[in-house]
Amino acid sequence: MYRLGWFSTGRDEAARWLLKTVHDRIREGFLPAEITYVFLSRRPGESRESDIFLDLCRELNLPVIHLSAREFEPELRRRDRELWRTLYHRAVLEKLPEEVDLVVLAGYMWVVSEEMCERLPMINLHPALPGGPKGTWQEVIWQLISARAAETGVMMHRVTPVLDEGPAITFCRFSVRDESFRPLWEACEEKLLSKGLSALISEEGEAEPLFRRIREEGVRRELPLIVYTLKALAEGEVDPRNPGRPLDLSGRIERHLRTGEWR
């Protein structure tokens, strides 16, 4: 059985939904894996959202290890973030119960240390195609709009010491130029010509209709990509330590979006 470690900060409903979806696919037999432990970077009582996340873990009978990042050496974190990151994750490593085949960063809000990257095979999601824009999902979408992109996607990549630079393991792609996007691009182009990108970002930001639509289409594919990536890894279709050419899961994900079925 493929053994998973699960890292989260448990900060919102999306973190809970992701954990429950993967757990349900395991229980149904779709994913030949098990979640060996959940690591939470908050302690019980630290926030309402993470307490709800802990309740879910208990409901799913998943063992939880926790260590509050916010409360770990706060003075050191302000003074020397890199040293703090090393010491915090060293303390985390000491708490983890056993080796796993893979660690999934699923709503984990802290940059992991170089030592942890070397000790554990970890994967994370990035909202762009391999070789595409870097940065936060907001920065990625504005770069796509600025470049008048024809398509974008979502990828799962190996976590390395250089943020967002690990090799892609899997990805999916989708068009942002089909007929339903046409009026959104036309309206956005008019605003870009009249006021420029910086003004558009400051005045409308995430409410801009084209921006919002690109984000919605990406989010629709994130959860299926994670599930199908874990299935490909558990079944040996791809190796997280030596992924080679990333696996294109677009067909499987689009079929799932059309049918709602996991197969």
Per-residue 3-state assignment (H helix, E strand, C coil) for 53-75: HHHHHHHCCCCEEECCCCCCCHH
Q: Average pLDDT for residues 202-207, to the nearest whole number? A: 95
Nearest to 124 by CA among 172, 89, 159: 159
Question: Which pLDDT tens digit goes with each residue over 34-62?
Answer: 999 999 999 999 999 999 999 999 999 99
Q: Average pLDDT for residues 93-97, to the nearest whole number? A: 94
pLDDT for res 21: 95
Crossing angle of helices 48-59 and 13-28, rounded to 10°: 10
pLDDT for res 165: 77
Q: Average pLDDT for residues 187-205, to the nearest whole number? A: 95
Q: How confident is the model at residue 102 (pLDDT cuts 50, 70, 90)?
A: very high
pLDDT for res 160: 87
Please give the full DSSP string across 114-159, using - where no structure is assigned. HHHHHHS-EEEEESS-TTS--S-HHHHHHHHHHTT-SEEEEEEEE-
Asked if CATH classification 3.40.50.170 holds for the domain at 1-120, the reply, yes or no, is: yes
pLDDT for res 98: 81
Pairwise CA distance, residues 104 & 143, whole Å: 27
Q: Phi then psi for 242, rounded to 5 degrees?
A: -145, 70
pLDDT for res 240: 80
Q: Average pLDDT for residues 122-147, to the nearest whole number? A: 94
Q: Cα Rg for the chain, rounded, in angstroms?
A: 19
pTM > 0.85: yes or no: yes
Tokens 């990625």 -> residue: 140
Which helix (H) or strand (E) element contains residue 169? strand 168-175
Residue 244 above 90 pLDDT? Answer: no
Least confident of 35-44, 67-76, 156-165, 204-213: 156-165
The DSSP bridge partners found for residue 170 are 156, 247
Extract the tokens encoding 141.
Answer: 């979408």
The ranges assigned to domains in the chain are 1-120, 124-263
Extract the tokens encoding 99.
Answer: 């080796």
Q: Which amino acid is at 200?
A: L
Least confident of 108-122, 194-208, 233-247: 233-247
pLDDT for res 239: 85
pLDDT for res 166: 86
The DSSP bridge partners found for residue 174 are 152
Percentage of residues of the chain with pLDDT beyond 70: 100
Residue 243 above 80 pLDDT? Answer: no
pLDDT for res 63: 96
N-term to C-term CA, the chain: 19
3-state secondary structure of 23: helix
Residue 97 above 90 pLDDT? Answer: no
